[in-house]
């Protein structure tokens, strides 16, 4: 995103709260690949989506340091729960630290391990699922997710434009091919309606009919 446009968006939008701001800074000073964090604009968007959808059960695939999980969990209605899965166990301590700082330890259940294996063992149905894990496995995530998603539930998938590479025939690395395959599978799924929002790196919103 253009720096001036991003600065303008941040000036107009509601400010980032202290816990998320601290987590954002901590991630950038102590974690490899800090650009993977959702950040304020996407975090606030996810929070507002949860407020609109009012899901009782949310699943997140790809916790990273917990920014998006905290953003979504803050908007959950009473009695609702968010399950989030992260494969990198080295990130668990920082995630738990900030979940606790946000006072959300009773609303967020953290799972560490391979998302596909964990999802297969879950005996839970969800109203909203956020996919932001390994881009090579997006299609596999989706095929499991759509089966545990309630009717009229929503799937949100991040990075579906992959820095514009999806539209460049010369780009054929595994990540780009994984995103292209996912986008094609979703397009061909007649049990859903879907739209790509060109925000940040592309966000697809999918509703199960």
pLDDT of residue 140: 98
58 — phi, psi (to 5°)?
-125, 140
Query: What's the pLDDT band for 58 if we cut at 50, 70, 90?
Result: very high
Q: What is the mean pLDDT of the chain?
A: 96
Average pLDDT for residues 50-58, to the nearest whole number? Answer: 98
3-state secondary structure of 171: coil
Q: Structure tokens of 175?
A: 């990540």
Domain count within the chain: 1
Quick one: pLDDT at residue 200? 82
Cα distance between residue 179 and residue 160, in whole Å: 6
* Helix 138-145 and helix 174-188, axial crossing angle in degrees, nearest 10: 30
Which residues have CB under 8 Å from 48's CB, separation 6+? 75
Compute the distance between CA of residue 207 and CA of residue 156 in angstroms, rounded to an integer.
9
Nearest Cα residue to 186 out of 172, 171, 202: 202
Domain interval for residue 108: 3-208
Q: Of 91, 32, 31, which is closest to residue 66 (Cα–Cα)?
A: 91
- pLDDT for residue 35: 85
CA dihedral 15, 74, 127, 180 (to 10 degrees): 40
For the domain that residue 15 is a member of, what is the CATH number? 3.40.50.150
pLDDT of res. 172: 92
* Calpha distance 191→113 (Å, rounded): 29
**Portion of the chain with pLDDT greater than 90, in percent:** 94
pLDDT tens string 109-168: 999 999 999 999 999 999 999 999 999 999 999 999 999 999 999 999 999 999 999 999
Q: Compute the distance between CA of residue 11 and CA of residue 126 in angstroms, rounded to an integer.
A: 34
Chain position carrying tokens 């599978």: 185
């Amino acid at each position: 995103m253009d720096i001036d446009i991003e600065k303008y968006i941040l000036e107009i939008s509601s400010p980032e709260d202290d816990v998320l701001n601290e987590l954002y800074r901590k991630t950038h000073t102590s974690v490899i690949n800090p650009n993977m964090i959702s950040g304020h604009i996407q975090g606030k968007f996810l929070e507002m989506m949860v407020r609109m959808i009012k899901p009782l059960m949310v699943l997140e695939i790809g916790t990273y340091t917990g920014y998006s999980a905290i953003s979504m969990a803050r908007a959950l209605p009473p009695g609702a729960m968010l399950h989030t899965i992260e494969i990198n166990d080295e990130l668990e301590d920082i995630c738990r630290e900030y979940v606790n700082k946000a006072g959300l330890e009773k609303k967020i259940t953290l799972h560490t391990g391979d998302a596909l294996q964990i999802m297969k063992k879950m005996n839970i149905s969800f109203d909203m699922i956020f996919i932001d894990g390994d881009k090579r496995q997006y299609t596999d995530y989706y095929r499991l997710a759509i089966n545990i998603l309630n009717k009229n539930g929503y799937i949100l998938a991040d990075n579906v434009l992959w820095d514009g590479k999806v539209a460049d025939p010369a780009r054929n690395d595994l990540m780009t091919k994984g995103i292209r395959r996912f986008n094609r599978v979703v397009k061909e799924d007649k049990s859903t309606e879907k739209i790509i929002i060109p925000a940040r790196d592309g966000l697809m919103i999918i509703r199960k009919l």
